[in-house]
Amino acid sequence: MLLIHCPYCGARAQDEFHYRGDANVERPAPHAGQKAFYDFVYARDNPRGWHVEWWHHYAGCRRWVKIERNTVTHEIRTVKGPTQDTR
């Protein structure tokens, strides 16, 4: 069970959160075309190491938080609000 320090609620157990993958991909402008949307929806760096990702504190403040987590050790380095920069 990961322990996630929600910036709004404090340290909370992982099972209060839902996961939603890579937070580095950004939705393209509406007319950017299929390739840009392909990159947004499908293509992933899938790093072995630090990964910035979305988690939703559904059983708490219901904010989407951006977490920087190591995919090998599961260590969490930063947790930021939805519009804050990670680094």
10 binds other proteins (CB under 8 A): no
63 binds other proteins (CB under 8 A): yes
In the complex, the smallest distance separating the C-beta of residue 87 from other proteins, rounded to whole angstroms, is: 17
Handedness of CA 33, 84, 24, 4 (dihedral sign): negative
* DSSP designation for 8: T
Residue 83 dihedral angles phi and psi, to the nearest 5°: -115, 10
A 10 A CB-CB count for 5 gives 13
Return residues touching other proteins (CB under 8 A): 1-3, 14-15, 18-23, 27, 30, 32-35, 37-46, 48, 51, 53-54, 56, 58, 62-64, 69, 71-74, 76, 82-83
